[in-house]
Amino acid sequence: MADPNSYVTLTVTSALGEQLTQAQVQVDSHESWSYTLSYSLTPGMTVQAVASVDKNSTPSDAYIKVINQAQSGPLNLTGIKTDKVSGVAPDTGQIIKAWRSSDGAQMVNNKVPSTGDGKTFTFNYLSNMTLADNDLLSVVSEFKDNGTMTPFDRGVVS
C-alpha cells in the first residue's frame, strides 16, 4: 500500500536478470495503482515495486515477487516489542525484513536460524534501534537472494 498521490516504480526483469520494463505510476486517492504490461509474465521473471513521495525522491526498499515462486503460507507475528520482533516464517531458509512506519527505517534484515523448526524467530532491531509504542512495524518473510515475499504483516508494540 502506498500513500495517495505518491509514486510507485515497477521493474520487471527476466529470469536471466535482463530489465524488461521500468514504469512509474501515481497512486490514486484510494491508495491503489496499476500498470498493464504488454507481455505475459513467465516463470522466473521478477517483479519489484518501490514507492516514493515524489517522482524523483528517494524510493522505499523493494517489494519483490518472483513468478512461480510461492510462499507456503503467511508470515505469523507472535510479538512486537520496543526492541525486538518474534514470529513464525512460512518456510525454512527465509529472510525476515521489517520497517518502521514513522520514518521507513529498516529495523530487521536477518535469516531465520536453521535450529529448531527453522521457521520460528526472535530478532533484535538493527543498530539498537527502538520502536515507539504507537509506531507501526511492517514485516515480510522472503526467500533468500531477493526472492518472493509474503504479504506484509503489521502491528504495534504489544
Structure confidence at residue 86 (pLDDT): 98
**CB contact at 8 A, 35 and 20:** no
Structure confidence at residue 49 (pLDDT):
97
pLDDT of residue 1: 62
Q: Cell triple for residue 115?
A: 535450529
Q: By CB neighbour count within 10 A (0-12 exposed, 13-18 middle, 19+ buried), where does 30 fall? A: exposed
**41: three-class secondary structure by DSSP:** coil
Distance CA 144, CA 91 (A): 11
The distance between the two most distant Cα atoms of the chain, rounded to a whole number of Å, is 46
Model pLDDT, residue 91: 96
The pLDDT assigned to 2 comes to 79
From the list 112, 122, 110, 62, the residue with the least C-alpha distance to 92 is 112
pTM here is 0.90
- Single-letter code of the amino acid located at 142: E
Fill in the DSSP letter of residue 115.
S
Which set of grid coordinates corresponds to residue 71?
A: 510462499
Name the stretches of the chain with pLDDT < 70. 1
Q: What are phi and psi of 11, to 5 degrees?
A: -125, 130
pLDDT at 7: 96
